[in-house]
Structure 1
Amino acid sequence: MTIKVIRSLGRHAVRAQLAGARIGGRVLVRGVRTGIRRHHRVPRLPDLPPGRLVDLPGRGEVFAVDTGAPHPGAPTLLLFHGLATTSYLSWFTSIEDLSASYRVVMLDQRWHGRGIVSERFLLEECVDDAAALLDVLGIDEVVAVGYSMGGALAQLFWRRHRERTAGLVLASTLARWRSSRGDLLFYSVLELANVPLRGHYRRRVETVRTALPDPGEPGMDLSEWAWGEFRSTSAWALPEVLGALGGFDARSWLGAVDVPTAVVVTARDRALSTRRQRQLAALIPTATLHEAPGGHTSVVFDVEHWLPVFLAAVADVVARTGHAAPLQRERRA
């Protein structure tokens, strides 16, 4: 295959990802509205804990949320969000329940939302940003929790910061993004295409980041807020981020994970193979398996079924770290 053909394929791959991002945004808003109608819920933004821009010395300024401890000795959860979203957008359906029992810390990852815009997107830098945020907040140890892309980051957080990782909760995620020959070709072509285009991506991401307003105020229409959060991550970030995910492969070291771990599988997942999610659990000696019946977007669109499974997985890990498992409270309508 000639370089000319590879570059042509790369351009097509990039265009496809950008088009997918735009379509995904429209689907997200329609899905939120449909979910509201289906469950007869008032279209309002749930109460969200306030966030702020935090300077991470030598790294940059990042948007972060710290709910504080609901009671003395409450364990801390460090939440990693999914691809093309923000910390709020990934976790807005869960954070109210989580913060009732735990101190919750989360941040917008690099090239996402109000995260750091670096020369390139590296998963390793994302988890090191999270560790630097813990330094600023004076937090020594956390249970690392990740959804989809965030699951890869949580795995990598344990790898790079074992002394700070009390446990892991890995939801709708994989040990490796490349699996088939098609994946191999796609990610290889994408990596080649990203090299000459990376500077352009970064400038476009920086332009979006600089123009962002303050996060939405409570009381906004939920679909309007969700659309604003979704658009805060530039579509131009996706080829670079996907290229980094394509190089992620934790299979060789997951067998050394020695902290309590729970893997939450989405049983009808069409984005990340359910079979491969279960394979992730099988690779980790300390992992328990928890299954939710929905698809990859269950964290937003099937909260009724997904959230109890997720909360039970978190409680399971926390209990195995030596903390008392919290009582599960009924969710608000």
Structure 2
Amino acid sequence: MTNPNRGAAMAMRRFGRRAGVPDIAEVPGGRLVELPGRGRTYVVDIPGPEGAPTLVLLHATACTGYLTWFPALDALAERFRVIVFDQRWHGRGIRSERFSVEDCADDVVAVLDAVGVEQAMCAGYSLGGVVGLLAAHRHPDRVSGLVLCATPYRFQEKLRERAFHQTFGALADAFGPYAFQRAELHHGRLPELPEHTWAPGRFERWALTEFRSTSGWALAQVIAEVGRFDSSLWLSTLTMPTAVVVTTRDRAIPVYRQLEMATMIPDASIHLVKGGHASCVLSADRFVPVLLEAVAAVAARVTSGRARSGE
């Protein structure tokens, strides 16, 4: 089985030629954190201003925390304590014999416990949005607000989607144990910690290295599992302040489905980005300002709600 995101690797090599991609020379350093009973993952914890609310950033499929969110980290850290970590089967995330979205959602709370945070807002991109949704559903007392970017609330709606995901799921199930073994071998070859600084002109190499830290065998399992996700039965029960960032040129997640999700979540605000599914990086100059707007809107509603409740 080959890497299902081979085309993304080619895109990484063109980073330096994309006007919307920030040219940076470092990202905040992190550490490996043991989550009791779950495993070990790479966590970046940026303190932000004193007393700032906490924002957890959840990355997309085939990415790492760094690779999805590096363009936004500095700007977000001006107002929030920012926590980023690699999800299961991605980068230096938890290794487990199988991948499940439920485990990913529970990992969010485990990370909060590990860094001593009782409640946090979650911002997720694509897969990260799915994980954020499920974390909010399973742990509403721990997730104070949601920002959902390029996020679907379900996948298998149209006939071609059902055919794709059911076929892909069957193949992934058949290769399951072997895929885990190959992903483990890949993980074992990684340096213990990722680079967080690099020499001038080496940004593209860093981005490609970060992308390659996730095994293609792992991605096949992730895509198969995420394809089974469907939150339509409980979206309307979410009560925390929510913002939906819609990528209006998205070919991976239909725009109408992102908008449907926004209308199904009570009082969700809608924020539009003129970009495709990789807007978080390839159109970062357009995406980041809209992300900041959406996060600020949710944070203001969280603060207002706490003031009304006397917290």
TM score, norm. by length of structure 1: 0.87
- The CA distance in 1 between the partners of 2:183 and 2:152, in whole Å, is 26
Counterpart AA for 1:21: N
Shift of 1:189: 1.5
Partner of 2:78: 100
Question: Could you tell me which amino acid in structure 2 is paired with residue 160 of structure 1?
Answer: R
1:71 lines up with 2:50 in the alignment: yes
* 4+ aligned runs moved over 2 Å, structure 1: 38-41
1:151-208 CA-partner distances (Å, limit 9, x unpaired): 1001001011110111000001111022211111111112222223111111111111
Residue of structure 1 aligned with 2:36, choices 57, 66, 80: 57
Q: How high is the sequence identity, in percent, across the aligned residues?
A: 40
CA distance in 2, matches of 1:29, 1:263: 30
In structure 2, do the counterparts of structure 1 residues 172 and 215 end up closer, same or farther at CA, with 3 Å as the change threshold?
Answer: same
Return the alpha-carbon distance in structure 2 between the equivalents of residues 308 and 133 of structure 1.
27
Segments of structure 2 that go 5 or more residues without pairing to the other structure are 306-311
Residue 174 of structure 2: aligned partner: 196
Q: The residue matched to 2:165 in structure 1 has which SS?
A: helix
2:113 is the counterpart of 1:135: yes
| CA distance in 1 between partners of 2:17 and 2:185 (Å) | 32
Give the match for residue 250 of structure 1: 231
Given candidates 285, 288, 293, the residue that maps to 2:274 is 293
* Other-structure match for 2:211: 230
Bigger drift between 192-201 and 250-259 goes to: 192-201
Q: 2:88 aligns with which of 98, 110, 124?
A: 110
* Equivalent residue number for residue 261 of structure 2: 280
Aligned to 2:294: 313
Q: How many residues align?
A: 302
Structure 1: any 5+ residue segments left out of the alignment? 1-14, 325-333
- SS of equivalent to 1:250: coil
SS at structure 2 position matched to 1:118: coil
User: Is the CA contact 1:264–1:310 (under 8 Å) kept in the aligned structure 2?
Assistant: yes
Give matches, 1:144-155, under 5 Å.
144-155=122-133
Deviations 1:122-175 (A, max 9, x none): 011111112111111110000011001111001001011110111000001111
* Structure 1 partner of 2:309: none
**Which residue pairs with 2:10 in the alignment?**
26
Question: What amino acid maps onto 2:16 in structure 1?
Answer: R
- Give per-residue Cα distances to partners, 1:192-251, cap 9 Å, x unaligned: 222231111111111111111231141341111000000000111121101111110001
Task: Please state whether the residue corresponding to 1:321 is helix, strand or coil.
Answer: helix
Alignment of 1:36-55 (within 5 A): 38=19, 43-45=23-25, 47-55=26-34
Deviation at 1:284, TM superposition (A): 0.4
1:303 to partner: Cα distance: 1.4
Amino acid of the structure 1 residue aligned with 2:225: A
